[in-house]
């Protein structure tokens, strides 16, 4: 996920801290975010889980500074920031011996932090799955696709279980994945969309992922990730 699991990323100038854009995605050590993740599938099942992310601080990666984040499900991410924005440069699961470097920076937020700013990153299907065939998860058999992210609005307010937040950015991601829907419809371009809210001084406070299928062969649904507590 961009989510996470959705979910979500050029070297920094020497002797400088993160640029102002990092206030919408804090990098310094000591922060913690607790989220409730709810997945609602088209087969009328609902799954709930909690997810916790922590910032572990600055360390060296390939001879340059990077800020490390860790998810309690066993994933680590290394990020950098400069005048162009916040971006991921490596990721590692507990099954990996070494971090896997991203071939190109994967932006979380790109500057300018203004409505209309766009960037791209790859994504996959996190909810879409086959109803009967195996493996059921589409992401295990189909290559990632490009998603275009756009800052839709700034200065937004948002209410969550963790409280009310002001001065938030709303970012929308759009992609399509071509899949065999069923013998009648054949192959279709199925939409993958993401809405993310990043609030100043806090970071990601809400994410909504939609992957509708409306197919006899495939099942889709929606995933929401909402902040419940942070520090």
Q: In the chain, what's the furthest Cα-to-Cα distance? A: 61
- DSSP secondary structure, 107-147, as one string: EEEESS-STT-EEEEEE--SS-EESSSSS-BGGGTS--EEE
For 169-178, what is the mean pLDDT? 97
| Of the options 1.10.3470, 2.40.360, 1.10.10, 3.30.930, the CATH number for the domain spanning 20-230 | 2.40.360
If you count DSSP H runs as helices and E runs as strands, how many of each does the chain have, helices first? 0, 14
DSSP 164: E
pLDDT of residue 2: 45
User: For 177-187, how does the pLDDT look when each residue is reduced to its tens digit (9 = 90+)?
Assistant: 999 888 888 89
For 70-98, what is the mean pLDDT? 94
User: For 190-209, how does the pLDDT look when each residue is reduced to its tens digit (9 = 90+)?
Assistant: 999 999 999 999 999 999 99
Residues 6+ apart with CB under 8 A from 60: 66
Domain limits of the chain? 20-230
pLDDT at 100 over 70: yes
């Amino acid at each position: 996920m961009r989510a996470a699991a959705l979910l979500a990323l050029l070297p920094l100038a020497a002797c400088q801290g993160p640029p102002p854009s990092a206030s919408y995605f804090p990098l310094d050590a000591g922060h913690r975010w607790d989220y409730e993740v709810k997945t609602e599938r088209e087969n009328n099942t609902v799954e709930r889980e909690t997810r916790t992310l922590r910032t572990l601080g600055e360390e060296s990666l390939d001879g340059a500074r990077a800020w490390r984040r860790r998810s309690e499900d066993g994933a680590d991410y290394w990020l950098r920031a400069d005048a162009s924005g916040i971006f991921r440069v490596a990721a590692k699961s507990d099954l990996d011996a070494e971090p896997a470097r991203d071939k190109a920076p994967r932006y979380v937020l790109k500057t300018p932090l203004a409505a209309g700013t766009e960037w791209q990153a790859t994504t996959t299907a996190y909810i879409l799955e086959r109803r009967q065939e195996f493996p059921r998860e589409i992401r295990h058999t189909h290559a990632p696709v490009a998603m275009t992210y756009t800052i839709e609005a700034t200065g937004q307010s948002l209410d969550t279980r963790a409280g009310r937040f002001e001065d938030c950015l709303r970012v929308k991601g759009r992609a399509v994945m071509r899949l065999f829907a069923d013998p009648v419809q054949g192959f279709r371009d199925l939409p993958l969309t993401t809405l993310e809210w990043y609030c100043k001084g806090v970071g990601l406070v809400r994410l909504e992922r939609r992957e509708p299928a409306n197919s006899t062969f495939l099942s889709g649904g929606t995933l929401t990730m909402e902040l419940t507590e942070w520090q």
